[in-house]
A and B are shown apart, each in its own frame.
Chain A
């Protein structure tokens, strides 16, 4: 089983809303990642969690707040987003940092 589950699949939110994206895996992976992908562009790394600790933050604005409550779950809390933050948000996990990564289906976010 190499499944990474992301919810919701689609999300529309206003600029004053607070929402959260969820990512779950039950493969015993100890590294989890958030990526952002704009249309016709490659995914861009946002955050890396290694053994439930934030190890990499690629200078992401503070309106994106990651959280890793346990080794199976990764959240991305969203607050005061801008329309340019509309994108596909992808979560991935790997056995250990840098190992083969597996992706979820993504959450397509629209900020209005």
Chain B
């Protein structure tokens, strides 16, 4: 069965510091992986996705993620955090019938 584990329910970084949100997956088939972001009082929106074309995936708002098969990881990074990045971030792996299997989410807190 496929699963997703996000390490850390809350991550706090200072403005301007590196953002690193961790995601590990379990899949018996080559995975399709996603990061979605949920800003306060809003629905989720797609940040980026891995579809096997390239291991380093660039998304919106300066975020990127690297697929590492050997580590079964798909960590999300951003070189310099901005106050507007405060949100909850969800990692997901594609299951059957276009369904996604979701991680528990990580709340990113940005300190001024």
- The answer on A and B forming one complex is no
B-side interface residues toward A, CB under 8 Å?
none
A residues with a Cβ closer than 8 A to B are none
